[in-house]
Amino acid sequence: MFKKPRWLRWKGGKPQDEAGWKDRIDMERLPQHIAIIMDGNGRWANARGLPRTAGHRAGMGTLHEIVDASGEIGLKILTVYAFSTENWKRPPEEVDFLMHLMVEYIVKELAELHEKGVQIRLMGDIEDLPGDTRNEMKNAIEVTRNNQGLVLNIAVNYGGRSEILRAVKQVCAEVRGSRLAPEEIDEELFGRLLYTEGCADPDLVIRPSGEMRLSNFMLWQIAYSEFWFDRILWPDFHREHLYQAIVEFQQRHRRYGGL
């Protein structure tokens, strides 16, 4: 059974209501889009004397719980950062494990996700992924294409800078081919060339593990997102933390540069 660490159970010298976060959510003001940087798997495993792969597997269990919780409360879009363009720098055996783990996740979860109406989308250059990983992901997209529930964006082989460069190259090609005039280029057009075409920008970005940086994640889309950082490691992140982040998000005043 999940037990909150002491730092979460106590804040400002007063015990927290561990069961009340969901009840405090204003369901009429849910964020449309939550993005999560899933971080801390390796440190979670190291702290327990386990191989890093054990942390990644535990993190997949957390992903199952958070996707389930997001669908239950009626969230429209959940984006999770699974594998960045920089993650190829990790040891080959860890990269191979992560690729196989993604296949395992899709194979095990696809039927349930489809039954619950989840629509799976992918962000990133999946053509550079191993064949079995790429094929399972493309199959998941096709199977869930017409679902009307939670949109689950999985960022794989994704980097914010490379996404922007990809869009710039498309714009340049359109201008060079006289299919687009420079004065027609605006934010709306540029947004349609990103992986998140058709999706609202994230309202809330969550990063566990204590790190307070973006790590090349959705650099265009998060221009006015709210952030929720926490030192809990991703395998220990549970639906109560998601609810807490939403409650705290709803207590903020978003001005978008105004007053």
- Catalytic residue numbers? 39, 87
Rounded to whole angstroms, the Cα distance separating 105 from 149 reads: 19
The contacts of residue 227 (CB under 8 Å, 6+ apart) are 204, 205, 206, 207
CA distances 165 to 157, 216, 219, 220, Å, are 15, 13, 12, 11
Rounded to whole angstroms, the Cα distance separating 217 from 198 reads: 18
Which of 156, 159, 155 minimizes the C-alpha distance to 220? 159
SS3 state of residue 119:
strand
Output the six-digit token pair for 198.
Answer: 């058709």
H or E element: which one contains 155? strand 151-158
Rg of the chain over CA atoms, in angstroms?
19
